[in-house]
Amino acid sequence: MPIQAIRTEENLVTEEPYYEPVGDEIEVYAAAYRNQLPILLKGPTGCGKTRFVEYMSWHLQRPMITVACHDDLTASDLVGRFLVKGGETVWVDGPLTRAARNGCICYLDEIVEARKDTSVVIHPLCDNRRLLPIDKLGELLQAPDEFCLTISYNPGYQSVLKDLKQSTRQRFVALEFDYPNAEKEQLIVEKEAPGIESAVAKHLVKFGTMTRNLKGGGLDEGASTRLLVNAAKLIVAGINPVVATDTAVALALTDDTDMLKAVHELSRSVF
């Protein structure tokens, strides 16, 4: 039995994911893809970065491999390692190597969380060389034209220890994401939470905008589109809108009592 954790063919997105374009990001991504340029997605949490990559994976008909980065993620987690099987050693490709071999889209989510040594393997892949050195195998893997590296990064983090180095960021085509405008956001909420009344969705979006007014004045972030969709789903399931926004949005945003109360009252204002 071959040892393989993820099979790439299973990562082909077969159904069109719902994605509402806000600008020319689809064209830009496609153009970058055709020119073998890696892509950096910037934006606050829950504004649709991951969904966008899924959509592009479907659009370009390339399998997609997602890696959620964490602070213990090392280069060998990405590249691969030898495992022992019955006294023999077996090499197992990591997600990045697998993507590079098979010409997939490799999506490294929240790259700043990963260990610094990951940049060693990312850098040669991201410039015109498009090489992935695998020292253990003594192999220099040349990525095919179909391979595309996409990373995401949330510039809203305030920790100076979690920042993307210039040498890394200057290798990417950057796409900036933000929350969509009210009309589009309402559309997204309605599509993502089928069954929600249009008026309720409108109010939810208005409520979302109000919480974003508070950003910097007590809240670190306003409510993301994802949170609004969550609240909408609860509402469709029969939960009272104010309770739904309290549980799905307010409590997720802050622990400060005054602020919680303010967000709660803002929600009561619109519903």
Partner 1 sequence: MSDESRQNFLNKIRVQKDLEQATGSVIERHGRGAELVSKFAALDRVDQDFIYHWAGIVSESNEELAGHFVNRAPSAFESMDQAGVEAWLIAAMDQFDNQGLGTAIEALENLQDFSANYALRHTSCLFESVATFLQHFVKGLGGRELQIASDRDTYTDTEKLFLPDSCNEHSEYDLNFSLFKLTAVHLWAQSWYGTWRYQVVERLIRSEDPGAITAVFNRLECIRLDACIARDLPGLHRQLESAAYRSEEHRFAWQEWRDDAFLLTGSSASALDSVALIADFISRPLPALKRYQGDVHLLAVRDAMFARVEREKAAMKQALAELQKALEQATEGDSDDTSNPKNLGEFSLTEDGESGSGGDVQFELSYDGEPVEMTPELEALLGSIMQDFGEVPDDHMAGINPSMYPEDLESDGAGQLGATQGDELSDAITYREWDYTRQRFRDAYCLLSEFDVPTGESGFVEATLEKYQGLLKSIKKTFEAVLGESKLQRRQSQGDDIDIDALVEAHADFARGHEMSEYLYTQYRNVERNIAVMFMVDMSGSTLGWVNEAERESLILLCEALETLGDRYAIYGFSGRTNKRCEIYRVKRFDESYTGEVRERISGIRPKSYTRMGVAIRHLGHLLNMTRARTKILITLSDGRPEDYGGYKGRYGIEDTRHALLELRRDGVHSFCITIDKEAQDYLPHMYGPANYAVIDEVKKLPLKVADIYRRLTT
Instruction: Provide, rounded to whole angstroms, the least separation between the CB of residue 218 and partner 1.
Output: 6
Binding flag, residue 152, partner 1 (CB under 8 A): no
Instruction: Provide, rounded to whole angstroms, the least separation between the CB of residue 177 and partner 1.
Output: 13
SS3 labels along the chain? CCCCCCCHHHHCCCCCCCCCCCCCHHHHHHHHHHCCCCEEEECCCCCCHHHHHHHHHHHHCCCEEEEECCCCCCHHHHHEEEEEECCEEEEEECHHHHHHHHCCEEEEECHHHCCCCHHHHHHHHHCCCCEEEECCCCEEEECCCCCEEEEEECCCCCCCCCCCCHHHHCCCEEEECCCCCHHHHHHHHHHHCCCCCHHHHHHHHHHHHHHHHCECCCECCCCCHHHHHHHHHHHHCCCCHHHHHHHHHHHHHCCCHHHHHHHHHHHHHHC
Beta carbon nearer to partner 1, 66 or 154: 154
Q: Quick one: which of 16, 155, 195, 198 contacts partner 1 (CB under 8 A)?
A: 155
Beta carbon nearer to partner 1, 1 or 161: 161
Site string for partner 1, 172-201 (x = CB under 8 A): ---------xxx------------------
Beta carbon nearer to partner 1, 39 or 112: 112
Instruction: Provide, rounded to whole angstroms, the least separation between the CB of residue 57 and partner 1.
Output: 28
Instruction: By CB under 8 A, name the binding residues for partner 1.
Output: 72, 74, 76, 81-84, 87-89, 155-161, 163, 181-183, 203, 206, 209-211, 213-214, 216-218, 242, 258-259, 261-263, 265-271
